[in-house]
Structure 1
């Protein structure tokens, strides 16, 4: 790979639609050299802690992430290298023993709630996107996701949202919006914003 990859950061709160935006970009450039690197894979390894301690993990706090590894892996991919991407086991609340081999691509989409928080990681991005969605819509999406995909109860999802997710969002995630080049209201449903993004990415790719 001769030229430096284009790095696109897609951030926003839990349930904002950032995954939808990333998926739409991936679909648009299907068949081309595009990859997705999710910050969710880079939660810190907690295998040295007992399960009772791991259950207390605040996954919405910047300190929950292994940003050193995330940064180093992103630099390696930008330089054209390959990585062994960690896999996080959310059932046991620690990193899995397995990894996933990933090679560099022409377009790297970096997605996560706090990817704009760390200046080192932020500065590696060519385009920074923040997906901005109302709290109530994000809560509704989170309830549906956690009940259908993670076997949670409505009560437990709302309790976690009120006590942890919402305060962390307003303290740490929402302030990173000021670093974004593009703010996308309503996530993957915003066709105009998706079209603008994909057009811009396409232009960059054509210049390579």
Structure 2
């Protein structure tokens, strides 16, 4: 369903996928190649405060500390998401892209989405990308990530993310480069983004740590 602003329908593209699947790479590329027309929202920016025990879903980390469950949709401030999507739709964009683990799961996004895309990447590749990112960017002990994955991450993906693949209008290969993924998405969204994507010498792959969740 497109948001109607000033008499014009502003379409919303929801992009979901597992952690390190390539969804952020795809969404960021769309915004980067079409900066004048695409508004981008990352659901990672809408988690409830991690220090507030009264909000969100809590879990025990492999470190033994109770933390916010980043892999559960109940940890997202859905009201804030809805307000942000509507505000961006009113901001003069031709397309609003909402990206995140739960972009096809949260009602606040799903009910506003004109099109739904799922970025599909094998679990072993996603896990390898995540571990490399944790090591290279955050300097985190990969043992912690692996223990958390085995304790809850794998289960949460199976329960809250993977099933949303069936709701997608388009499933794209998250192991492809950004231009291949964009080309596939353009077959779905049609003339909304009229200007062509200009190829560069070094296209970005999702494995180059551009992913968020």
Report the TM-score range of the alignment, normalised by the length of the smaller protein: 0.7 to 0.9
CA separation in 1, counterparts of 2:31 and 2:84?
20
8 Å Cα contact 1:7/1:124 also seen in 2: yes
Q: 2:13 aligns with which of 8, 26, 30?
A: 8
Q: 1:63 aligns with which of 53, 74, 79?
A: 74
User: What's 2:160 paired with?
Assistant: 172
What is the TM-score with the length of structure 2 in the denominator?
0.75
**2:10 is aligned with 1:22:** no
Structure 2 residues without counterparts, runs of 5 or longer: 195-213
Within 5 Å, give how 1:37-76 maps onto structure 2.
37-49=41-53, 55-76=66-87
Q: 1:139 aligns with which of 91, 111, 127?
A: 127
8 Å Cα contact 2:79/2:108 also seen in 1: no
Q: Report the Cα offset of residue 192 of structure 1.
A: 3.9
**2:135 is aligned with 1:124:** no
Shift in CA distance, 46/142, structure 1 to aligned 2, threshold 3 Å: closer
Q: Report the Cα offset of residue 76 of structure 1.
A: 2.7
Within 5 Å, give how 1:87-166 maps onto structure 2.
103=91, 105-166=93-154
CA separation in 2, counterparts of 1:104 and 1:49?
37
8 Å Cα contact 2:47/2:75 also seen in 1: yes
8 Å Cα contact 2:78/2:108 also seen in 1: no
Alignment coverage as a number of residue pairs? 181
Q: Secondary structure at the match of 1:23?
A: helix
Tell me the alpha carbon deviations over residues 33-82 of structure 1, each in whole angstroms, 9 at most, x when there is no partner.
222100001001244449x998422100111111121112212322x1xx
- RMSD over equivalenced CA pairs, Å: 2.5
What is the TM-score with the length of structure 1 in the denominator?
0.77
Shift in CA distance, 201/45, structure 1 to aligned 2, threshold 3 Å: same
User: What's 1:194 paired with?
Assistant: 182
8 Å Cα contact 2:42/2:98 also seen in 1: yes
8 Å Cα contact 2:95/2:192 also seen in 1: no
